[in-house]
Amino acid sequence: MVRAIAVAFAACSVLIAGCRPAYESARIIATGADIIPRPVRVESSQGTFRLQATTPVIVQAGAEGADSVGRYFIRTLAAAGGMELSLVTRTAVADTDNAVILSLEGSLRTGFGDEGYILSVTPRQAKISAAAPAGLFYGIQTLRQLLPPDAFSSVPLQGVLWSVPCVRIEDVPRFPWRGMHLDVSRHFFGKAFIKEYLDLMAMHKLNVFHWHLTDDNGWRLEIKRYPRLTSIGAWRVDREQDNWQKRQSQQPGEKAAYGGYYTQDDVREILAYAKERYITVVPEIEMPGHSVAALSAYPEYSCTGGPFTVLPGGYWPNVDIYCAGNEGTFTFLEGILTEVTDLFPSPYVHIGGDEADKANWKKCPKCQDRIKGEGLKNEEELQSYFIRRIEIILNARGKRLIGWDEILQGGLPPNATVMSWQGMGGGIAAAKAGHDVVMTPTSTCYFDYYQAKSGEPEAPGGFLPLDSVYRFEPVPDDISPGQRPHILGTQANLWTEYVPTASHAEYMVLPRMCALAEVAWTMPELKDFDDFLSRLEKQYSRFDRMGVNYRGRTVRSTRP
């Protein structure tokens, strides 16, 4: 099962890599279209196509997925323009005047993969052709950006001329993994914002939502076997008025009432929303470190036995982690992962693995017995033992393990994928050893970092301006051409210690998400920062219509 998943992802990257030569020599004949991420080839011509209330969206009868893409487009236009186009299914979709046509053509798979598309707009019609519904969906995202920015309005507008310039676009993504992460533990973000985040991702043709659901500061996912994870682990004492690093822990008699969590029904709702947008949701369940929220609810799985309370801020180093010597810890985690894998269709489960301070493992008789019993050299190898056992649980359930680059310590589990965050080195080592990698180094992918040298809302540190994100190259020079397909792609991360509100989160990711989209989707030879900046102006107009906050040209207040 795991092998099948691995092959599917490898095939995907090879397919996409295989598309590249055809386009490496492609010349941009004309842009004339402010599309982000920049497509492979844009050829403009005279004239426009006008969408009217009578314009049908035509899909092939029986073309699975195409109708849902059509309905998605109709809904977005109805929300912005109050104009409800009709979905029409036909056995042959070819040459219909005054129509938006979504055409699935298997022959396009060679060269365009499942996510590429051709969009052809003439005065008579707008036609999107793709090998798979995902490609149609990305064609629709491009069509939306060819419409006036009003197409992104969050309120229905009257009297807009919904015209599209005539153009032919051929497009295909560079990487199969185009991710955005969101930490909902340090601050909890409700369903409405998660959907908005997914909408922003879809607009930028990003396709992996890495949902950081657990950490020291809150457990956010209902687990039916272990109800205390949310009845206790989701709540902390409210210290929001104090600096994150200086927050006093919960005192006797104080009530832990700040937080929240997602029920499994909430998650199913989010998953359906993501699926409609061709986004895979990768859940992250942190272990063995960053686990104080879980241990506050179930202290018996720590080395010391606790007690603990959910941390209201940052405490460093954090020695209270899962006990690797206690068999019960693995039973507990298997119970959690059973529910997680039942709930999430993603082929990957992220198990964290970062920043586990091993001080308690050094002192714990059970952990030391485990080291002796398993013939391990040290606590690093104990961590590797821990992660290998978790990989066996996940693989048995048909899932692949992905973890932060610390999972390299003491030896990588055989099928693991590495998310390289402490620079590119972990990713390079993993790719050289034949493992898949997602590149997300702090220096170019940490969207909690400052966006400018002054005038910004408080952040944990770091400096990541827009152009640094834009210039990121996820494929390092020092891996061989044969190893390059192991670089699945890239992702940016939004840690939320200093991000308490949705509006602040928008501000941190926009417009850096636009630059990330171009790193992840656009062929490197087509990237041009100045050209990107000129296209960004139109993107800002779209954000204005959506009513989202963004850093943009001037610094805005991020507080509600």
Single residue of 367, 510, 516, 520 touching Zn ion by CB under 5 A: 367
Is 543 among the residues that bind ligand ACM (CB under 6 A)? no
Out of 109, 191, 362, 366, name the contact with Zn ion by CB under 5 A: 366
Could you tell which of ligand ACM, Zn ion, none binds residue 325, using a CB distance below 5 to 8 A set by kind?
Zn ion
Q: Measured from the CB atom, is 177 or 421 closer to ligand ACM?
A: 421
- Cis peptide before 317, with omega less than 30 degrees from 0? yes
Continuous segment of H or E residues that includes residue 529? helix 529-546
Total number of residues shown for the chain: 560
Q: What does the DSSP assignment read for 331-376?
A: HHHHHHHHHHHHH---SEEEEE--S---HHHHH-HHHHHHHHHTT-
32 vs 460, which CB is nearer to ligand ACM? 460
Question: What are the structure tokens assigned to 448, written together?
Answer: 């909690």
Radius of gyration of the chain (CA): 24
The listed partner (ligand ACM, Zn ion, none) that binds 421, CB under 5 to 8 Å by sort, is: ligand ACM
**8 Å CB contact between 236 and 250:** yes
What is the footprint of Zn ion within residues 297-316 (CB under 5 A)?
A: 303
Percent helix, strand and coil across the chain, each to the nearest 5: 40, 20, 40
Shortest Å distance, C-beta 354 to ligand ACM: 4
CB of 466 vs ligand ACM, minimal distance in Å: 21
Least distance from Zn ion to the Cβ atom of residue 372, Å: 13
* Contact of residue 362 among ligand ACM, Zn ion, none (CB under 5-8 Å per partner type): none
Return the one option of ligand ACM, Zn ion, none that residue 364 interacts with (CB less than 5 to 8 A, by type). Answer: Zn ion
Residue 285, classified by CB atoms within 10 Å of its CB into exposed (0-12), middle (13-18) or buried (19+), is buried
Query: Which position among 198, 270, 323, 445 is part of the footprint of Zn ion (CB under 5 A)?
Result: 323
355 given a catalytic annotation: yes
- Least spacing, CB of residue 349 vs Zn ion, in Å: 23
Q: Under a CB-based contact definition with an 8 Å cutoff, are residues 38 and 518 in contact?
A: yes
| Beta carbon of residue 378, minimum distance to Zn ion (angstroms, whole number) | 14
* Cα separation values, 386 from 8, 223, 335, 375, Å: 27, 21, 16, 14
Give the angle subtended at the CA of 203 by the CAs of 221 and 555, to the nearest 5°: 85
Closest contact distance (angstroms) between CB of 216 and ligand ACM is 11
CA distance 91 to 75: 23
Residue closer to ligand ACM (CB basis): 201 or 407: 407
d(CA 34, CA 226): 49
Any bridge partners for residue 387, and if so which? Answer: none
Site residue total, ligand ACM (CB under 6 A)? 4
Give CA–CA dist 167/289, Å, rounded: 52
User: Which span (94-102, 218-226, 356-364, 524-532) binds Zn ion, by CB under 5 A?
Assistant: 356-364
| Binder among 235, 421, 472, 521 for ligand ACM (CB under 6 A) | 421
- Tokens 């008699």 sit on residue: 253
CA–CA gap between residue 60 and residue 293 (Å, rounded): 50
C-alpha separations of 19 from 109, 118, 380, 446 in Å: 10, 14, 41, 30
393 binds, among ligand ACM, Zn ion, none (CB under 5 to 8 A by kind): none
| Complex with ligand ACM: residue 276 or 355, whichever CB lies closer | 355
Of 114, 171, 183, 215, the catalytic one is: 215
Question: Closest approach of Cβ 404 to ligand ACM, in Å?
Answer: 4
* Binding mask of the shown chain, residues 333 to 372, with x at each position contacting ligand ACM by CB under 6 A: ---------------------xx-----------------
Interface mask (CB under 6 A) for ligand ACM, residues 106-145, using x and -?
Answer: ----------------------------------------
Residue with tokens 């519904």: 133
Q: Which of 204, 210, 212, 290 is catalytic?
A: 290
Residues 247/265, Cβ–Cβ less than 8 Å? no
Q: From the candidates 354, 355, 381, 456, give the one annotated as an active-site residue.
A: 355
339 binds, among ligand ACM, Zn ion, none (CB under 5 to 8 A by kind): none
User: How many chain residues interact with Zn ion (CB under 5 A)?
Assistant: 6
Q: Which residue(s) pair with 400 in the sheet?
A: 348
- Number of C-beta neighbours around residue 252 at 10 A: 5
Contacted entry of Zn ion, ligand ACM, none for residue 367, CB cut-off 5 to 8 Å set by kind: Zn ion
Tokens of 85: 């186009």
| Cβ-Cβ contacts under 8 Å for 524 (sequence gap 6 or more) | 174, 473
CB of 410 to Zn ion, least distance (A): 16
Name which of 379 and 448 has its Cβ closer to ligand ACM.
Answer: 448
In the list 152, 197, 298, 404, the residue contacting ligand ACM (rule: CB under 6 A) is 404
Alpha-carbon span 109 to 117, nearest angstrom? 9
Shortest distance, CB of residue 355 to ligand ACM, whole angstroms?
Answer: 5
* 8 A C-beta contact, residue 496 and residue 459: no
Residue among 204, 18, 23 nearest 109 (CA): 18
Residue with tokens 């019609």, as numbered in its chain: 125
Classified as helix, coil or strand, 500 is coil
Residue 355: contacted member of ligand ACM, Zn ion, none (CB under 5 to 8 Å, by partner type): ligand ACM
Q: Which of 143/367 has CB closer to Zn ion?
A: 367
- Residue from 364, 401, 459, 499 that binds Zn ion (CB under 5 A)? 364
Residue 109 site contact among ligand ACM, Zn ion, none (CB < 5 to 8 Å, cut-off depends on kind): none
**Active-site amino acid positions:** 215, 290, 355
Positions that interact with ligand ACM (CB under 6 A): 354-355, 404, 421
Positions that interact with Zn ion (CB under 5 A): 303, 323, 325, 364, 366-367
